[in-house]
Structures are given as structure tokens and as C-alpha cells.
Amino acid sequence: MRTWLTPENNKYMLHIELTNLCNAACPICPRYWASTPLTRPGLEPTSITVEQFKQWFSPEFLKTQVQRVMLCGNQGDPFVCKDIIPILEYVTAYLPKNMALITHSNGGVRKPDVWKRAGELLQGSERWYMWFSIDGLRDTNHLYRRNVNWDKLMENVHAFMSTGGSAYWDLLVFKHNEHQVQEIRDLSTKLGFLGTRVKNPDGLFWDNKIQVRGVYDKDGILEHYLESATDPQYINAPANAVRSNIFPSKHIDIPEVRTANFSNDSYDIYEESSISCKSLLKNGSEIMVQCDGLILPCCYIGEIWSSGRTDDAKIQLQHMWDIEKMYLTKNSFSSIMNYFDSTIMSSWNQPDYDSGKCMYCAKICGQDSPIDRLIHTKASYNA
């Protein structure tokens, strides 16, 4: 039986958030408050240094106990991390070539020389590559990837590609860019990407309806609407879901002290779901390491844990855990894995929420999970 303490083949799949800093201000990102460019309450700007990275992940650990290193984040872009290149140099020096090394970025930060060096490092293995999160073309990418300048993005893409580094294009499809999907695939091929992955965005379905999200500036003034695509294949919602006919306000009040929003999301429909953990994968147990050293069982819990909102599921997790036992700065890696096995994993066989069954696990890793609707296509390889 796979557990966090005893993963398949004794190897872990590390999802590491190097920083909670970001150059973009994506409206659905948990880093931001109420779809504005204002950061959520309680966000303390933090980045992992190369010294911390070496302390937490020894050469021997990278050589023998890692199936995959993925540098990505729920709140930050890895390339905003000051030590991104030294960290990549360290990982590539010790991670075996037959193990995966994957890095994500919106591509709109740092200078081309940084991207050129990254391209030089991510070579020598078909399992070492970049995902560039680009959600449109010159006239549409900025509608979701706010603050990402198209010319700077393309300059960095060209710098990375010029080295022979491997990269894929990661595309979220909305109403405003669904007409560009084929044009994006064509540009992806032209630029040298290995393929394009089309994804159905999360964050536009709540209260059992497909919703319209308002995108606001720092003063709470509506900039534009964010809507699901019209083509059903690009919508992340149950097949029978209907669209809300309510449009967001054209102005929201910005309080002097921003507090966490309470979400009214209902978990009742997932209570009877059997839980098949996405984190305990076939090739190793996945864990998420946040930039403050906190380890969480997966990035899905990482998203709700570090977001600026709270709900019944988050409150349940807060009661379940002694969070001080989950920091790499204070505990050994193995003791944290054992703690997960004895807490969240032991909750899965409970019959209902009142008995302690994990609400968020039932939603994310039960039947009809919104995560299962996220990926429209696996990466389609360019010719």
C-alpha cells in the first residue's frame, strides 16, 4: 500500500513553490484579493534561497528518492525567485537524467540571459522541460495574465528556445480566446514548442452555475469580464450545468483592511464519494513544498490553505492538523510524511464528514472532481 512515508519505489514527486512573488496579477489566482491586483490578506513575501534548498534536499535525496521535481506554485512564479538559476544548477547536477524536472512560468519576468541559461540547463533529457503559461496572443494574453508584456514574453521565449531547451505551451481557454486555439497551436509550432496543452480553467463555476467573474483594478473599478468559453469542450463544469445570468458589479468597495472571504461552496454533494488520492500516484507520492518550508499533501490543498478565503473544508483541515509539525524548518522530512499518514490519510475511510472524513479530499479526489475536468487535452505534439 502506497503512503507518504512509503511511496511507490521509495521515490517522491516534489512540487516546490520557490516563491509567493509574481509579476502577473491573474484574476483567479489565490494570491490576489477579489480578482483585483491587491494581494490577499496575510501574504508575507517569501522565497526559497539556494542555501535553504540545499539544506532541505540533499544531493543523496535528489539522486535516490525523487521521481520528479516540479517548480511551480499556487501563488508565485518560479522565475521571480532570485535564486532560480542557482537552484536549477543544483538540481540538474544531482537529479538523474531519467527523472523528471519540470518548470512553469508565465515567461514575462527576468531578462533574456536568465532564460538562455535556463534553456541550457534544461537539456540532456526528454523529461526536463518548461511549461510556458500563455493564455492567448498579443491581443488576449494580458486579459488573464495581467501585467505580462507580450514583447518581453516573446523575447524570453526566443532566448530559451535559442539554446535548444525543451518547452511546451500551456493554454487556458476562455470566451475571449477560444477563437484563437488553432492560431496558438500554429504559433507554438513556429516558435519551436514541442506541443500545446489546452486546459479548461477552474474558478468560473460556483453555486452550481457557470459564472461570470469581474476583473477589477486596484480601486475596485471593473476592467472587463472573465467568462467561460461558449464551446462546451472548454468549460470546467458538470455537463448539465447552466450559466448564471447575473453579471458582476462594475465597482467593488476596497476595505482599508482586507479580510479573508468566506466561501459558500457546498461539499454536501461529495460526502459519499470514495477517495482515490491523486497525490499517491503510481510513480511516487506527490507532496507540495511551499516557499516558507511548509509541506502539504498536494497542491490542491496548498491552493485552499494559502488562499485568501476560508470555508468549511479549510476550517476542518485547521482542526485536523498541528501545523507546526509540517514545517521543514522544524521537522524532518520523514516525520512530516508519517504525520500525513496518521492524520489526513486515516480520515479517508470515515463514512461521513461528522466522523472526520476529509471534505476537501472528497471534493478533489472523489467522483466528478472539478480537477478531472481541468485538462481538455494532453499536450498535443507539434509536427
Beta strands in the chain (DSSP E): 12-16, 66-71, 100-105, 128-133, 167-172, 195-199, 205-206, 209-210, 213-216, 222-226, 242-243, 261-262, 280-281, 284-289, 295-296, 309-310, 380-381
Is the model's pLDDT at 20 over the cut of 50? yes
Q: Whose CA is closest to 32, among 264, 229, 268, 220? A: 220
Task: Count CB neighbours of 185 within 10 A.
Answer: 18
Is the model's pLDDT at 131 over the cut of 50? yes
Give per-residue pLDDT as tens, 34-71. 899 999 888 999 999 999 999 999 999 999 999 999 99
Write down the CATH number for the domain with range 8-381: 3.20.20
Contacts of 354 (CB under 8 A, 6+ apart): none
Beta strands in 52-97 (DSSP E): 66-71
DSSP code string of 11-33: -EEEEE--BS--S---TT-TTBS
pLDDT score of 383: 46
Give per-residue pLDDT as tens, 255-265. 876 776 666 66
Q: What are phi and psi of 65, to 5 degrees?
A: -125, 15
Place of cell 476529509: 358
Query: Structural domain boundaries of the chain?
Result: 8-381
- pLDDT (average), residues 81-86: 98
Model pTM?
0.92
State the pLDDT confidence band at 137, using cuts at 50, 70 and 90.
very high
**What is the average pLDDT score of the chain?**
92
Compare 344 and 207 and report the one with higher pLDDT: 344
pLDDT score of 186: 97
- pLDDT (average), residues 171-186: 97
